[in-house]
Amino acid sequence: MVVLVDENTKVVVQGITGRYGKFHAEKMMKYGTKILAGVTPGKGGQEVLGVPVFDTVKEAKEKFPEINTSIIFVPAAGAADAIIEAVDAGLELIVVITEGIPVHDSLKAIRYARNKGSVVVGPNCPGVITPGKAKVGIMPEKYFTPGPVGIVSRSGTLTYEIAYQLTKRGIGQTTAIGIGGDPIIGLDTVEAVKLMDQDPETQVIVVIGEIGGDAEERLAAAIKRGEIRKPVVAYVAGRTAPPGKRMGHAGAIISMGAGTAESKVRAFREAGVPVADIPSQVPDLVEQVLKK
């Protein structure tokens, strides 16, 4: 078993007729991901990349009842609506690539999804990849290889960087989940790590955190409470970032006293989690753990 996506994942692409949507749908298909349909309101009846486009997710699901996953490329103003639409169509997994969604919209849509039992990954995330099986996301796939490491990351390119460094060392990945950098996200760090923890193939979990929020502190607390049984290795980006400034779209902002890199690193160390100072130390730490 692997986490969230695999060969049984059947995908609808919301926003398939847009530039990014189409570009990445094609890359996903090439990777072997089973994309059955696309949705763009007002473009129902067209065909893109050989798959039919529908006006609504409901119609796509009626035509292809096996669809269980959506990936959303819809522009920010309509992305929350797209999430709600996917939830109402009964999809199990909804990966939201869109960045810049207003936080009040995310609050509403993600709460709705959680109440109805759909898993949302993102928004503002690179998606999920299970190397060799399926990719529901936008990550450059060639830096990921199958293996024993689960990756949970709040970052995009930094995830690729660390996967690449692992892969160069010959350490592959079960699944990598980019949970997204927005203040409000669906699947959070603790939940994603717990999914990895339950996956029999995952032997080590790499957590890539960053400043802002208290996700890393909460994960450390869960580890301390014994809720995670597998070894965890962490890196926290932003030790050099000044407080009170927003670092890019990522919503990495430090406020309310919590969320500094120091606080996160301290919490991890107190929970017995080895923390890399810089990304290149991650493979070393993983190797040490795997050797045990």
Which of 162/199 has CB closer to other proteins?
A: 162
Amino acid 24 reads H
**Span of 1-9, 30-38, 138-146, 262-270 interacting with other proteins by CB under 8 A:** 138-146
Is residue 211 within the footprint of other proteins (CB under 8 A)? yes
Is residue 291 within the footprint of other proteins (CB under 8 A)? no
234 three-class SS: strand
Amino acid 78 reads G
Is residue 200 within the footprint of other proteins (CB under 8 A)? no
β-strand pairing of 127-130 with 134-137:
antiparallel
Closest by alpha carbon to 192, among 10, 6, 4, 1?
4
- Residue 275's DSSP bridge partners are 234
Is residue 172 within the footprint of other proteins (CB under 8 A)? no
Q: How many CA atoms lie within 13 A of 58 on its CB side?
A: 4
Query: Where in 263-282 is the site for other proteins (CB under 8 A)?
Result: 277-280
Q: Helices (H) and strands (E) in the chain — how many of each?
A: 9, 14
Which of 192/199 has CB closer to other proteins?
A: 192
Site string for other proteins, 20-59 (x = CB under 8 A): x--x-----------------xxxxx---------xxxx-
* Cis-peptide into 75, omega within 30 deg: no
Is residue 85 within the footprint of other proteins (CB under 8 A)? yes
Is residue 191 within the footprint of other proteins (CB under 8 A)? no
Closest by alpha carbon to 167, among 26, 41, 286, 23?
286
Site string for other proteins, 140-169 (x = CB under 8 A): x--x---------xxxxxxxxx--x-----
27 three-class SS: helix
Catalytic residue among 249, 272, 277, 280: 249
Q: Is 104 a catalytic residue?
A: no
**Span of 1-9, 199-207, 236-244, 262-270 interacting with other proteins by CB under 8 A:** 236-244
- We find the least distance from the C-beta atom of residue 111 to other proteins, in angstroms, to be 6
For residue 238, give both structure tokens.
């932003």
CA atoms of 101 and 48, how far apart (whole Å): 26
Residues in the chain: 292
Site string for other proteins, 94-133 (x = CB under 8 A): -----xxxxxxx-xx-xxx-x-----------x-------
The one among 7, 255, 269, 288 contacting other proteins by CB under 8 A: 255
